[in-house]
Structure 1
Amino acid sequence: MQTTAEYYCAYCGEENLTFVDLSAGGQQSYIEDCQVCCRPNILYIRIDEDTLDIEIDTEYEG
């Protein structure tokens, strides 16, 4: 099952929308390019399995 979540780019600070695969576990990480400045962000995703609340932290890639 997928849902969407918002995160802020670690480079330019702009808000982005990403798809999160809820069936992939409570902690995930992957690299996604910012939709505004095109720089790569490492996304650290935590999903509360009871409430399905999603928290995303970003970090510079490289």
Structure 2
Amino acid sequence: MLQQIEKDISCPYCGEVITVLIDNSVPHQEYIEDCQVCCRPIEFVVSVTGDDVDLVVRSDF
């Protein structure tokens, strides 16, 4: 079963707060997703340990 949680982040480009879905069934992930407001690419680095989800977003990749 796919597990997802919602996280609010600030776009590193435009500063808008957007809600993203994180798949917490995968322990380590790195991927790029476009901002829902300004459409610029955001790099996501996700680490999942138990119930803890560490999320870092970057624009300079």
Pick the TM interval, shorter chain.
Answer: 0.7 to 0.9
Unaligned runs of 5+ in 1: none
| C-alpha RMSD of matched pairs (Å) | 1.6
Structure with higher helix content: 1
Q: How does 1:10-49 map to 2 (within 5 A)?
A: 10-25=12-27, 27-49=28-50
Q: TM-score, structure 1 length as denominator?
A: 0.76
Q: Provide TM-score, normalisation by structure 2.
A: 0.77
User: 5+ unaligned residues in a row in structure 2: which ranges?
Assistant: none
Distance in 1, Cα, partners of 2:43 & 2:60: 6
